[in-house]
Amino acid sequence: MALSAQQIPRWLNSVKLSSFMTALQLRKGFQRPGKTLLCGVFAQPHASSEDCFLQWGFRTYRTSSMWNSSQSANSSRREINCAQSTLLPSVNEPPQKTQKMPGLDSELSLEGLDDVPPLSPLQPISDEEAVQIIAGPPLPPSSVTLRDYVDHSETLRKLVLLGVDLSKIEKHPDAANLLLRLDFEKDIKQMLLLLKDLGIEDTQLGPFLTKNYAIFSEDLENLKTRVAYLQSKNFSKADIAQMVRNAPFLLSFSVERLDNRLGFFQKELKLSVKKTRDLVIRLPRLLTGSLEPVKENMKVFQLELGFQQNEIQHMITKIPKMLTANKRKLTETFDYVHNVMRVPHHVIVRFPQVFNTRLFKVKERHLFLAYLGRAQYDPTEPNYISLDKLVSVPDGIFCEGMAKASIQDFEKFLKTL
């Protein structure tokens, strides 16, 4: 049906409103990357029949606007340009490439995150951020055990991993204050490397530091100087390592102290340099312990037991522990061996191991041999029993080789004592 001239503008306005609503629905339904138009409508590469209708509607509206004589020429051109910019592409027209505008929800690239500068510890924070900070438990103000500080001290944790027994160290009142002030990297690491360079094994570091934790208070250069001094006295690195293991406090003594000790034993015992060195290697406590027991035992050997100087030299080079042995034990052992067993001085000098044996063991075996009539300790007589074997061999060998009896007979005899 043909429209009148007055109905044509109404019909065009209706078409305009319908086209605008359809375009708005298309915009909401296709929220994905596509071709973007200036008025915000997302265009798709392929146009549908509905798109063609919208295009026809907009073009019709544009033609109607040109018929309107009340519009000015400039206003008419602006309206045409806007209408053309909002048109969806037709089927025959190839899609034009448009630049994709970044949205607010676009993702940041990883490269951009790497460029973000780190936060400064001095950067002020808000009250809300301060409330969210979780602080660790505070250090205990006082404690009777180092165990309470292990979780707070990296130094203590690493010492425990090395095998250090903190339960023994904490018995010393100054130990906790020393260890808690130390930094493992600056104060401890270099000393551990020095000990390992000497030959101290990893498994030996724990027991060593447990006994001599105070070595951390020593200056590293002083420790190196003491090692260099021992090496200048022809102590090998293996000798020094053995001495340090057996006498953990050795490196805590000054060079003057070590030099005086070596001079004392060489002079008082009238030993050569080599024998003096061998003596302290076997018993390095002679360099770290007190000299009073040594001086007292030297008098006991000479005045009470009646040994000559050369006999004392021979015995202590074989059994260095005789220099630090208990005075009462020395006199009781000598009295039984010399006065009861009738062993002369020169035989005891040849076998000083008897002074390093428990006296009750010597008594049990001598009484069993005397019971069997085989207690013969004179090397010039038949059926001679060596003092060395008497105190060193196991019970089975003693019974079969010396007593010529069974071990059951020996055990029965011991029950009668």
Predicted pLDDT of residue 37: 37
Q: Give the integer Cα–Cα distance in Å for 158 and 164.
A: 9
Determine contact, residues 14/7, Cβ cutoff 8 Å: no
Choose from 39-48, 86-95, 193-202 the range with maximum mean pLDDT. Answer: 193-202
Determine contact, residues 105/40, Cβ cutoff 8 Å: no
Grade residue 166 by pLDDT with cuts at 50, 70 and 90.
confident
**Residue 293 half-sphere exposure toward CB, CA atoms < 13 A:** 17
DSSP structure string for 273-285: HHHHHHHHHH-TH
Grade residue 239 by pLDDT with cuts at 50, 70 and 90.
very high
Q: Report whether pLDDT(187) > 90.
A: no
DSSP structure string for 151-199: TT-HHHHHHHHHT--HHHHTTSTTHHHHHHT--IIIIIHHHHHHHHHHT
Q: Report whether pLDDT(102) > 60.
A: no
Q: Report whether pLDDT(309) > 50.
A: yes
Question: For the segment 220-238, what is each residue's pLDDT rounded down to a tens digit?
Answer: 999 999 999 999 999 999 9
Grade residue 176 by pLDDT with cuts at 50, 70 and 90.
confident
Q: Give the integer Cα–Cα distance in Å for 76 and 185.
A: 83
For 112, the 3-state DSSP assignment is helix
Pairing relationship of beta strands 35-36 and 42-43 according to DSSP bridges: antiparallel
Predicted pLDDT of residue 10: 54
How many residues would you count in the chain?
A: 417
Greatest Cα pair distance, the chain, in angstroms, is 160
Kindly list the distances between the CA atom of residue 142 and the CA atoms of 37, 136, 181, 369, in Å, as whole numbers in the listed order. Answer: 75, 17, 15, 63
Choose from 38-42, 46-50, 140-144, 297-301 the range with maximum mean pLDDT. Answer: 297-301
Question: For the segment 38-77, what is each residue's pLDDT rounded down to a tens digit?
Answer: 333 333 444 444 444 444 444 444 444 443 444 444 444 4
Residues 6+ apart with CB under 8 A from 10: none
Kindly list the distances between the CA atom of residue 256 and the CA atoms of 199, 225, 273, in Å, as whole numbers in the listed order. Answer: 24, 11, 18
Q: Which helix (H) or strand (E) holds 43?
A: strand 42-43
As a whole number, the mean pLDDT across the chain is 76
Comparing 44-53, 131-140, 169-178, 307-316, which segment has the lowest mean pLDDT?
44-53
Grade residue 216 by pLDDT with cuts at 50, 70 and 90.
confident
More confident position, 386 or 131: 386
